[in-house]
Amino acid sequence: MLCDKVYRCKINNRIFVPELVVSLFGIKSSRLQLEIGANGASDSMQNISQDIVKNLWVPLPPLSEQVEIVAFIRGLSDQVSRVKVRVESQIQSLKTLRSTLIAHAVTGRIKV
């Protein structure tokens, strides 16, 4: 499902590393604040006001620590991407092996 709302946030880079702000919007405490502040006619059409976003409570470590956090997150993200590629490759190999085994069983090349 895609959201039809787009926010453009101007981040004061003397206070926050913008990439960290993106990550902070995804953490549980931020999501909960947004959910609590959301309103609308139905669960599927919730709105979040600018005031809710502007008043979001998030951790504010020093800039140097934010840079370290972003580097750490990037490293984890890279690791996850590499693992995902390996797992997808292994899944494809298993699918190929399964097809081959079925073909050999059906043609009598192996006894079942």
pLDDT value of residue 8: 81
- At 40-70, the pLDDT tens digits run 777 666 788 888 888 889 889 999 999 999 9
Beta strands in 3-99 (DSSP E): none
Q: Which two tokens stand for residue 31?
A: 């999501």
CA distance 77 to 83: 10
Give the pLDDT mean for 82-97: 98
Q: Are 63 and 17 in contact (CB under 8 A)?
A: yes
